[in-house]
């Protein structure tokens, strides 16, 4: 009887230790907000015409991110962004969000003067019509996977 109790106790301790170690491995690495901040730095240091960016990462049932970018005047024409200028920005966002497991991401753009820049026409030309929400974009997981394939 004593031998069974010792084995059971040892097994419980072993399972608890394994669970603790496994939880530590899963939780290690950069947080979603840290990855979002890394994406911001990548966009700002690129030559894509993004002069400023900010990201707010939210963890819930499905992780979401709001990304706001300020575009240089050199890439904005008549208050809108062309598909040729938007595509490389979205490609950088796709690469930067690959490990974030986002459920969705909202993308807002403005020009250097603070005026909202429309992404609608460019997104439509890139086949992201369903992602258009006014002048901004709401990209879901399927959109982000498609963008990564570009």
Task: For residue range 32-55, list pLDDT tens digits in order.
Answer: 999 999 999 999 999 999 999 999
* pLDDT value of position 101: 86
CA dihedral 77, 68, 115, 139 (to 10 degrees): 60
* pLDDT value of position 12: 54
CATH class of 32-148: alpha beta
Which ranges of 2-107 would DSSP assign to H, the alpha helix?
2-27, 32-45, 83-96
CA Rg value for the chain: 22
* pLDDT value of position 139: 97
Ranges in the chain, pLDDT < 70: 1-28
pTM exceeds 0.75, yes or no: yes
Residue with tokens 């040892």: 10
Spell out the residues 6+ positions from residue 18 whose beta carbon is closer than 8 angstroms to its own.
none
Q: Which of 9, 134, 11, 136 has its CA nearest to residue 67?
A: 136
């Amino acid at each position: 009887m004593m031998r069974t109790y010792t084995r059971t106790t040892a097994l419980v301790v072993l399972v608890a230790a394994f669970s603790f170690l496994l939880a530590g491995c899963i939780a290690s690495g950069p947080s979603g907000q840290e990855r979002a901040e890394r994406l911001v730095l990548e966009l700002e240091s690129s030559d894509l015409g993004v002069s400023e960016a900010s990201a707010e990462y939210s963890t819930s049932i499905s992780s979401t991110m709001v990304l706001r970018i300020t575009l240089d005047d050199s890439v904005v024409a008549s208050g809108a962004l062309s598909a040729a200028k938007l595509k490389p920005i979205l490609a950088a966002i796709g690469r930067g969000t690959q490990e974030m497991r986002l459920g969705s991401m909202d993308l807002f753009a403005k020009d250097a003067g603070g005026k909202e820049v429309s992404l609608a026409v460019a997104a439509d030309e890139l086949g992201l019509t369903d992602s258009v929400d006014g002048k901004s974009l709401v990209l879901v997981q399927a959109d982000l996977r498609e963008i990564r394939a570009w």
